[in-house]
Structure 1
Amino acid sequence: MSEQLPGGTELSPDEVEALHTRWSSCWTPSRVAQQLAGIGTPWYVAAGWALDLFRGRQTRAHGDIEIAIPAASFPEVRDRFPGFVLDAVANGRIWEDAAPQVLGAVHQTWVRDPATGNYLLDVFREPHDGDTWIFRRDERIRLPYSEIVHHTQDGIPYLAPELVLLFKAGHPRPKDRADFDASVPHMTSTQRETLAALLARTHPGHPWLTDL
């Protein structure tokens, strides 16, 4: 859908790399939870930070912080960031201070501090069917939000570790393998079995299956 959107700027690999340096002041999960306190829509911390929340401590540095929300709930979340700039990102293009129709059409939105130019938060709009979460890489995988969103002792929501690792398994980098090795020992037998079943379905022969 993003290819049909007007405007935007195509980024070279060097420009993409330069943008990554602007995440130096990204928020913590606690800061994000403060910003979204009391919101009605489900949301959760995703990716590497989610695994740290699952394990109960920060285990490594994080270059950014990502959350995910049901796609239809984006306007409600967008309204929680007055005074910040929202940039839409898709397929190597960026729409700075994107119009609502652009923000509503792309998967990924970066929240930017206008005073410093630094990026603070990465927001994913995920497919869903009402209260049912849909895995964006395989629509056959559908689970209730009530089952996939876990919470820390102080109430910060995060994605279930087996689903975080399912995302990471698609194109694993060294840090993804490290996250897998560090997280699996803390997972229940049911969580490991679920991850193995999902990997066998989406990535037959994946090397992580042997370790599970």
Structure 2
Amino acid sequence: MSEQRAGGIKLSPADIEALGARWSSCWTPGQVAQHLTGVTVPWCVAAGWALDLFRGTQTRAHGDLEIAVPAGDFPDIRDRFPGYAFDAVGSGWIWENATPDVLAVTHQTWLRDRTTGDYLLDVFREPHDGDTWICRHDPTIRFAYDEIIQHTPDGIPYLAPELVLLFKARHARPKDQADFEETIPYLTSAQRRTLTRLLAEVHPGHRWLANL
């Protein structure tokens, strides 16, 4: 890793591959929920793990665990993990022990075990307006947090599946396609309608629309 910018380091392809191995010890949703018990910030499990929580079973291996939190409330989340480091990442760069100025211009944060160097949790710091969530890819899409955060029977919060799939539609990698196909049968009519509307707005003509 040679190129540096404002305290950040540009990652080479070899660096990125090596970082992947450092996620082997990442936490489960239950472990994160234990750390965040009692927190008043509206957080939720996101991405692939959120779909598994929605369906009620783990359907595949996950290389990491992501949660989404309001960007302005990130300090309250960070305080629940004393002794750990938070590294900001974005566009092939990483900033270890990210400072507030770096956090202000990035949205993805990896929680690192200072002893082992392993990454345990990926925290998305999401745009919001008070208690209203704002979509990163289209700021006209807004929902109250209590509309989009659902809970498992044991109380673990997760992002509504129609929004998880909206984000996955952007790249539609093989695992995203599999997640879409396996999740669609579980969606309610209302969830299908919402996903259809949002896909048409954000990704007009997306191939998933034909299956909704």
Q: TM-score range by the shorter chain?
A: over 0.9
Tell whether the 8 Å contact from 1:88 to 1:103 is kept in structure 2 after alignment: yes
How far apart, CA to CA, are the structure 2 residues paired with 1:76 and 1:102? 18
Deviations 1:92-127 (CA, angstroms, capped at 9, x unpaired): 111112224323442011001112111000000000
Decide which moves more: 123-132 or 11-20. 11-20
Tell me the equivalent position of 1:173: 173
Deviations 1:41-96 (CA, angstroms, capped at 9, x unpaired): 10000000000000001010000000000010011111111011111111111111
| Residues 5-154 of structure 1 mapped to structure 2, 5 A cutoff | 6-154=6-154
Decide which moves more: 58-67 or 87-96. 87-96
- Tell me how far 1:161 sits from its aligned partner: 0.2
Aligned residues: 208
Q: Which amino acid aligns with 2:162?
A: E
Q: CA RMSD in A?
A: 1.0
- Provide the identity percentage: 67
How far apart, CA to CA, are the structure 1 residues paired with 2:173 and 2:200? 19
How far apart, CA to CA, are the structure 1 residues paired with 2:187 and 2:51? 11
Which consecutive residues of structure 2, in runs of 5 or more, have no partner in the other structure?
A: none
Tell whether the 8 Å contact from 1:87 to 1:110 is kept in structure 2 after alignment: yes
- Tell me how far 1:146 sits from its aligned partner: 0.6
Aligned residue for 1:40, secondary structure, equals coil
Q: Which amino acid aligns with 2:134?
A: I
Tell me the equivalent position of 1:204: 204
Give the structure-1-normalised TM-score.
0.96
